[in-house]
Structure formats: C-alpha cells, structure tokens
Amino acid sequence: MTVKEIYTADLADKLSNGEEVRIIDVREDDEVEQGMIPNAQHIKLGDVPERLDELDAETHYYIICRSGARSLRATQYLEAKGYQATNVDGGMLAWKGETIIPE
C-alpha cells in the first residue's frame, strides 16, 4: 500500500507559513520526553486503534515517529480506516524545526 509522504523540511515550511497542520507523534513516552514538535498530538503507535474516536475523519493528519517506520505503519492503518494521513519521511531524526519538552 503506497501512502502519501512529506519531508520534514516541507512540513516545517507549512508550519512557518502559518498553515493549520495537525501532527500526530506516535513515538513512545520516553522518546517524546526528549522533545516533540509544538502542538503535535501524542498517541503512541500501539494506542492508535483505541484512540481513533479522538480523530476527525475530515481532518488531514501528518504522522511522525523517530525515523519514519512506525509512522508509516500508523499512516497505512489510518488510511485503511478512512482517515487522511501523510507519513513524515525521516521522522524526528530528520526534524530541524522547533521542539518542545512536553509537561
């Protein structure tokens, strides 16, 4: 199954241009504690199926993880369930934009 992908630099451009972008970070808690993209929603990969009710089928989501493998799986799953999702290629390892430490 082929999914839509976006490079981290292109996602950063969307954010800096003020586009309303919904990002879901599917990394584990300890990874997110090292920093995440501001305003990203944290839903661990294993929790995605049980938290689908938190997502809007009309909203486009950008899915990110550490390197791009887990986010690819999450993107495939969400698209199979009828959601609009794009995998962030390279993940947080490739992210050069702002990060925050969640509370």
Q: How far apart are CA 67 and CA 69, in angstroms?
A: 6
- Going by C-beta distance under 8 Å and a sequence separation of 6 or more, which residues neighbour residue 41? 22, 23, 24, 25, 54
Q: How far apart are CA 42 and CA 90, in angstroms?
A: 18
Catalytic residues: 65
| Residue 63 near residue 11, CB atoms below 8 Å | no
| Residue 32 near residue 13, CB atoms below 8 Å | no
